[in-house]
Amino acid sequence: MTGQPWRLIPLLDAPGAVQMAIDTWLLDQHQHHGHPPVLRFYTWNPAAISLGVSQRRQIPDHWRNLSWQGQPVDLVQRPTGGRGVLHQGDLTYALVTSAVEGSRSQVYRFLCQFLIEGWAKLGVSLGFGQPDRDYSRSSNCFALATSADLVDSQGHKVIGSAQLRRGTYLLQHGSISLAPDPELWQQVFQTPGPQPNQAQLAMQRGLTLSQVMASLTQAAADCFNAQLMAQPLSDREWIDIYALAQKNGPECQRTGPSAVSSRS
């Protein structure tokens, strides 16, 4: 049986402000213009810290003057909630969909199932974290897990997820920690990096990014009964996305078509 048509956008490597504009634009298109549900994966270049939508005044001062490999570490506002996430050595996923029934917790569990099943096929067992009252006091999303996050069998956080909901329409995206640089982690969070999680160990043993995305894509097709159709962003779509990105602040001024690359 043919599943519901979904758009699969190929892997993009781009500045964080552009990536957030893409996610927001896709949600707008799905909500108002009949755009199909979307799955996409992306990476951040240059390295960035993304801030939860309500985190503007709760960030360490030194985050405003960070650099890595000769480039500033961008500070980027997410349209979703949560705490600060360091985007370096991670893979981000984004889902745009609608009409998912249930409480917030039930929706998270439904949408995260493809992550659990996809990683299980790669030999990494994941489960949901437990609520922690100290989460809101931390500026570091990966310091603690919540019931919306996925942890490995040792309790190490692997994936942190967050949502933006507009009625029945929603964006869920999250960071999959695969190869963090310990020196940058120390610089940002001023604590030693956490113990390697099972996904990071799998990458060290030779698992590739392409294999991860292929497994997660197939799992999404199975979990959501989706017919995933690969379709890059068009030139016309990029014009709208860059216009939206420019509204996010002066850090977007240096972005442009040459700042974005597609990867397989």
Report residue 233: phi and psi, to 5°: -65, 140
Report the DSSP beta bridge partners of residue 140. 84
> Active site includes 141?
yes
Q: Residue 23: helix, strand or coil by DSSP? A: helix
Let me know: does 113 contact 202? Beta carbons within 8 Å.
no
Let me know: does 113 contact 150? Beta carbons within 8 Å.
no
In the set 112, 141, 223, 252, the catalytic residue is: 141
Q: Residue 76: helix, strand or coil by DSSP? A: strand
Q: Is the peptide bond before 46 cis (omega within 30 degrees of 0)?
A: yes
Amino acid at 193: G
Tokens (6 digits) for 152 = 């490995």
Q: How far apart are CA 222 and CA 118, in angstroms?
A: 10
Q: Which residues belong to the active site?
A: 141
